[in-house]
Amino acid sequence: MIKVMKKVAAMWLLWASAVALAGPVNVNKADATTLATELSGVGLKKAQAIVAYREENGPFRDIAELAAVKGIGVKLLELNRENVRLTDDLK
């Protein structure tokens, strides 16, 4: 039981540190590699889907539009809301 608790704690710390290290990223300009690196829970496949959606539909006008991208759900969007930017303005 203690081993399981230690593994769970270690996994949680890894996840928390990944969230803490994620930085602001402009989803209208960033390439797939940058998106995968900077957005929590977004791997290369989801990042490529974001870029493909943007290329097909034009720039995102609202952060909520990301939920229309296959693989990006409301939970993932909320997890990254603080780090997603639509412009280079980091405010």
Regarding pTM above 0.75, the answer is no
Residue spans per domain, the chain: 23-85
Query: How would DSSP label each residue in 14-63?
Result: HHHHHHHH---EETTT--HHHHHHHSTT--HHHHHHHHHHHHHH-S-SSG
Paired tokens of 10: 């270690």
CA distance 4 to 28: 41
Fold of 23-85: DNA polymerase; domain 1 (1.10.150)
pLDDT tens, residue order, the chain (91 aa): 777 667 766 666 655 544 445 689 999 999 999 999 999 999 999 999 999 999 999 999 999 999 999 999 999 999 999 999 999 875 5
